[in-house]
Structure formats: C-alpha cells, structure tokens
A and B are shown apart, each in its own frame.
Chain A
C-alpha cells in the first residue's frame, strides 16, 4: 500500500517569514495530493490540492509543488500570519480507486510573533 512520509514534525517560523513542509510518497500510481489544515479541536479542512498532471498550484499565500519523478510534494506558505498556526497534513490517493487517503503524520506549524 501507499506510504506517506512528512517532515518536519514541528516547524517554528517568525511571523512574515515563509514556511515549507515536505512529503514523499511510495506508490507511483498515486495521482491526487491534498493538504489539510487542522485547528485545535476541529476536523481537518482542505486548503489546497494538486493532481499529477500539474507541477505547481497557487492560491494566494499558499502553493503546492509536485515532483512525480522523485515522488515528493511540498506545501509553501508565504508571509505567514498568526492564524496559520495549526497542524498540517499531506495525503496521497490513487484517484481511480475508492480506497481513501493515506495521510502523513502531520506538521505542527508555530508562528512566532
């Protein structure tokens, strides 16, 4: 089955700086890569996703890049703000199957004022 590794487990950055979270996956058949943000006491919420026919996708301060050859994808957050503090999860899925998402173990992002 799919295995997703996520690094780092904790990331502390100064407000206004950029943050980068990296994930690798093992199944070359995976073709859908979402990122979720989870605030304390709440369920995960999708913030951005990318499919394997695209190398990069941006949405305001958030961007995701995908390298299919190396089987890794990254989340980039620019101009970080206090409300970006949360746990972020990457995931991977074989879009043609109904076998769910395989999640990384999460990154706790801390924005220092």
Chain B
C-alpha cells in the first residue's frame, strides 16, 4: 500500500491564483481530513469528510473548498490564494473516526506571494 499520497510537494502561487492540492489514500478509509501547519501553531483542521459525498468544516475553513466524490480522493481547493494561506498542508485518513489512528501524508509546502 502507498498509504496517503499528496501532490504536489511544493507550490508557489501569486495572490489571487487558484489551485488544487491532491490527496489520495489506498487503505479504504472512510474518514479523511486536511490540516495546515504553521510555525508555533501546531496543526489546525481545515475540512474533513466522514465518507464519499459528505464533507464538513473544521477550525479554519475560510478560503478553502473540498469535495469527496470517491472514498480514495479528497482534494483541497484554494479559489483565490492569499499570503495568509502560506503554510504546509497535510492530508490524513483513518478507518472511520477522528479517534482512530490518523495516517498523515508527506505534506505540501505552499507559498503565496
């Protein structure tokens, strides 16, 4: 199993540009989530999904959209990038709930100029 994969590893955007961060898992996990990691802030939950077709907001959802059309994929979309969205983004998955072991991807480092 590849586990949780994320693409791209690095990305530089200009303010106002849009992009999609890709996340996929091959463990047949129902629960998937996106976190952002900023220096001195730990990890903060952006959006999560408890299964295909179901998504919900986390602690810091503004400026981000998600969808879950399949069990495997959970893309994160930035519609109009802002410098405040410069961060490292991690996707995670688990069997069914946030209280199950979370498997994290390797991360995407995003810089917005």
Interface size on A, residues (CB 8 A): 31
- Is A93 interfacial (CB-CB < 8 Å)? yes
CB of B98 within 8 A of CB of A97, answer yes
Chain A at the B interface: SS class: loop
Q: How far is the CA of A106 from the CA of B37 in the complex (A)?
A: 11
Q: Which of A59-111 contact B (CB under 8 A)?
A: 89, 93-106
Q: Of the candidates B40, B43, B102, B106, which one forms a contact with A46 in the assembled complex, judged by CB atoms under 8 Å apart?
A: B102
User: Which positions in B face A, CB cutoff 8 Å?
Assistant: 4, 31, 33, 35, 40-45, 48, 50, 56, 58-59, 90, 92, 97-99, 101-107
**Count of CB-CB pairs between chains A and B under 8 Å:** 76
Q: How far is the CA of A36 from the CA of B97 in the complex (A)?
A: 17
CB of A101 within 8 A of CB of B107, answer no
CB of A106 within 8 A of CB of B42, answer yes
CB of B98 within 8 A of CB of A101, answer yes
Q: How far is the CA of A97 from the CA of B50 in the complex (A)?
A: 10
In angstroms, how far is the closest chain A Cβ from the Cβ of B3? 10
